[in-house]
Amino acid sequence: MQALARRVAFPAAALLAGWVQSLAIADPFTGGAHGWLQVLSLAALVWLVLRTASPTDAHDAMGKPARRAVWRAALLGWLFGLGWLTGTFWWLFISMHVYGGLNAVLTVAAVLALAGFLSIYYAAASAAFAAVASRNGARKRPFALALLFAAVWTLAELARGSWFTGFPWGAGGYAHVDGVLAFLPRYVGVYGLGFVAAALAALLALANRIPWRSARTWAGVTVALLVGAGLWAGRVTAIDADAGADRPASLVMDVALMQGNIPQDEKFVPGRGIVDSLRWYGEQLQDNTATLIVGPETAVPLLPRQLPDGYWDALVQRYQRPGQAALLGIPLGDLETGYTNSVIGLAPGQGAPYRYDKHHLVPFGEFIPPFFRWFTEMMNIPLGDFARGAVGQPSFAWQGQRLAPNICYEDLFGEELAARFVDPAKAPTAFVNVSNIGWFGDSVAIDQHLLISRMRALEFERPMLRATNTGATAIIDHRGQVTSQLPRLSRGVLRGNFEGRVHITPFARWAGVAGQWPLGIGCALLALFLGWRRKRRS
């Protein structure tokens, strides 16, 4: 009976637990994040792996971990990842099938293949954890096992998101943008937050093995609570102290964020979406009275030389008047130097318009990976190879603010945004994200992207201004809270205020210099030490 459970019930439970984790990151009903549900779903995986790697039957005659137990744990981790990732980015189906015209069966296969490939990282993490947990005596060390699981799981997250495949959408830490752990990103970022959540999940799964009557246990709990309280108080103090002597007299600015809601299947069609886009955005840019006006990614869908006669010159002349500036998404470049997905900044007194070129390009959308051109040719989407901008490009300086643009899913990569904080004198006072999530319809992708931007606001304690084509166009303050937002899939202009900030968070300091490597090296050393220690004890 136990063998049947492990072969059927355990894999099904792992797949279900992974899907639950996708709901925890952003549920499709409210768009909210649920940290408690993320911890609970990951705890279910830990429990399944521990049962699979139980020392009672997971050893061979030599006392070493049985290979079958490790492979079963790998399968559970892989299925958990498959349920989690397909539940997270299933909306890729919309872009490839609805807008790209790819056969539905092939589209489903492509989404499953991507999720299955990325899940290999979590299979490896589960296998490594099971190999150590199955050693004799390991069950007597629940706190060490919890730290081991958190270390290997975080390494898997970093491998998926930063080091190898570079597709971190839906990392577990995003489920905690609200809740009791939301004070941690300023210190350790989203992956460090994920480490803490993974450790809590493992402790929950190991709760029956914790010596609750031991004074050492309660001493450890007390120390952890005191450290957490100190870090929380440090965050409050830093935010309140940002009104100190070094801060400019006023970093409050009014802004207008434009959301054109141009249908994605018309956006790049001559005579339809292009005409509509040029007309509507042109009118808003000419008539709006806000100090800062922001348009979304490719709000102007043509190169400047392709625009109707006088259109671009009229915009440039409009923002030579004092008191107003604009940031606008537009493609730039030529065949010789390469094309870029860019943001142009227009303000009075400039020698030349400000320019930001997107650095982190979207695979299959803005560059075609080697050996995959055959796949992109099957879709009716305007794809191509764009040139990359540099990491850490200068901010757009305007009336005391240093505004740092990022385009589309670039706000997923906190370590790249942190490169702008290496020199505190040039550090951004606010972020500006311009996006077009219209490729994914009215799906949870909109909610997920909003949570991602909120996490960046928590990490750097900077406001994030979001101007999008279809949503979510919003103003996020330096505490990661949405202060105002337009309804999705509607046309309008969001008018409001934001307050720039100047203090530098610990995460911005260390990630700006070393990226995610300090966290990754720390997790690797911790995993190696705990694995070696368990081996000695066994």
Q: What is the CA radius of gyration of the chain?
A: 25
Continuous segment of H or E residues that includes residue 495: strand 492-499
Structure tokens, 154: 């975080």
Integer Cα distance of 494 and 305 in angstroms: 29
Examine the residue annotation and report whether 297 is marked as an active-site residue of this protein. yes
Q: Which two tokens stand for residue 124?
A: 């490896």
CA angle 353, 359, 365 (to 5 degrees): 110
415 has catalytic annotation: no
* Number of other CB atoms surrounding residue 514 within 10 Å: 14
- For residue 253, what are the β-bridge partners? 498
Given 157, 267, 366, 408, which residue is catalytic? 408
Q: 358 catalytic, yes or no?
A: yes
Strands 252-259 and 492-499: antiparallel
Catalytic residue among 157, 358, 415, 459: 358
Three-class SS state of 60: coil
Q: At what angle do helices 273-287 and 311-318 cross, to 10 degrees?
A: 20
Cβ atoms < 10 Å from Cβ of 374: 8
User: What does DSSP assign to residue 384?
Assistant: -
Could you give the CA distance from residue 145 to residue 202 in angstroms, rounded to a whole number? 8
Which of 277, 281, 274, 288 minimizes the C-alpha distance to 319?
288
Q: What are phi and psi of 184, to 5 degrees?
A: -80, -30
Q: Decide if 429 contacts 500 (C-beta within 8 A).
A: yes
Which of 157, 297, 410, 416 is flagged as catalytic? 297
Question: By the 8 A CB rule, do 90 and 48 touch?
Answer: no
**Calpha distance 67→78 (Å, rounded):** 16
Please tell me the chain's helix, strand, coil percentages from 3-state DSSP, rounded to the nearest 5.
50, 15, 35
Residue pair 156/125 in contact (Cβ under 8 Å)? The answer is yes
Residues designated as active site: 297, 358, 408
